[in-house]
Chains A and B, each alone.
Chain A
Amino acid sequence: MNKTHNQKAWFMVLPVVLLVAFSAVIPLMTVVNYSVQDTFGNNEFFWVGLEWFEEILASNRMHDALGRQVIFTTTILLIEIPLGIFVALHMPKKSGFWSSICLVLVALPLLIPWNVVGTIWQIFGRIDIGLLGYTLDQMGIDYNYTQDSFAAWVTIIIMDVWHWTSLVVLLSYAGLKSIPDAYYQAAKIDQASRLSVFRYIELPKMKGVLLIAILLRFMDSFMIYTEPFVVTGGGPGSATTFLSIDLVKMAIGQFDLGPAAAFSLIYFLVILLISWVFYTVMVHSDKEAGL
């Protein structure tokens, strides 16, 4: 069969190429330019070479923020993924009134904007007027997220779990719903235990959506800014200063554009690497499953 080769359809992508160039490529190029220069404003730049990169790579401030970021992201992934699966497993399987109610209830936190979530928890945790803070205080538990870094961490982690576990639940639920009944019937004939049904039927079938959930939660939590900024502002001290909070402090607070640009490029490369690994694993496992 003779195929006509016509590549004109590529022009259809032109608008999105222009849009991405305008919103991502040009700003990224500018950041690269800033990272090798120093400026005092007024578009005057002085060449400094790779000095900022060396400074950032050797700075304790960056190492600490990166360490906190890794701890935060690992903690919330370790809580949200199992919790999300657990909740999804206990939602009504048959479509109907109750499953719709559950879905709406679960989806509610996802509809709330980040800064509102931050404000809710900031007030919720206050000792004087917040329900959580006041109750804990009355129970004699020493809880003050503005002074105690442990309390601040617990507050932020619980807030993130409250906000984002729903995403994992929805994705896992979608994965569970796609399993045909025949699998469960076969498991019943084999007298499989609940645990082996989960291990050999549900988990493998959820693998694809779970990888997406982990990827999304990783990227989102690794660049988290608004919620901890609203609740603790990175404090007490710098106990909850994550990478993006530190970066904004450097770029806008101190107006150190050069170091901030070098910082954000390193940050970008780390995220790019991990996202690429996740993406490759995801595409690879899809191909293995013949999707």
Chain B
Amino acid sequence: MDLSWMGWTVPTAIFFISIATALVIMIIWSIKTPQAPRVGILRFETTPGDRLFISLLGSAFICLGWLALFGAPLWWALLVCFLYALSVFRWV
């Protein structure tokens, strides 16, 4: 099967592998210690899966904002994203 039209690169592969890994970790985590949905600072019920989604979507916008304001590289933006994801999992 020729997949050259997909134009794979190492960074994009790492990007997708990390998302897939995050999903697998979330599955294992929810099997080991099942968690009930809880109500956080956003005033609605969220499951750990919802929090992962909010983290990823928010991180995408943080990176876009960083690019618009400061430009590449995104290393510091990734740090901000990580802190953001931690606070989402803690408080949302």
Contacts and interface: CB of A to CB of B under 8 A. Distances in A.
Interface of A: 26, 29-30, 32-34, 36-37, 39, 43, 45, 47, 49-51, 53-54, 57-58, 266, 269, 272-273, 276, 280, 284, 287
**Top 4 A-B pairs, shortest CB-CB distance:** A33-B7, A57-B68, A43-B4, A45-B7
A33 B74 contact: no
Contact of A58 (B12, B45, B53, B68): B68
B11 interface: yes
A205 B9 CA distance: 52
Given A29-B6, A284-B44, A54 B72 contact: yes
A269 B68 contact: no
A287 B5 CA distance: 45
B6 A33 contact: yes
Contact of A280 (B44, B64, B67): B44
Interface residue SS majority, chain B: helix
Contacts of A53: 64, 67
Interface of A, secondary structure class, is: helix
B7 A34 contact: yes
Contacts of B68: 54, 57-58
A108 B72 CA distance: 51
B33 to A, nearest CB: 17
A287 B45 CA distance: 10
Contacts of A49: 72
Contacts of B74: 50
Nearest to A27: B6
B5 A43 contact: yes
Given A50-B74, A280-B44, A287-B45, A36 B9 contact: yes
A29 to B, nearest CB: 6
25 contacts: A26-B6, A29-B6, A29-B12, A30-B7, A32-B12, A32-B16, A33-B7, A33-B8, A33-B9, A34-B7, A36-B9, A36-B11, A45-B7, A47-B9, A50-B74, A51-B72, A57-B64, A57-B67, A269-B57, A269-B60, A269-B61, A273-B57, A273-B61, A276-B57, A284-B44
B71 interface: yes
B15 A32 contact: yes
B6 A54 contact: no
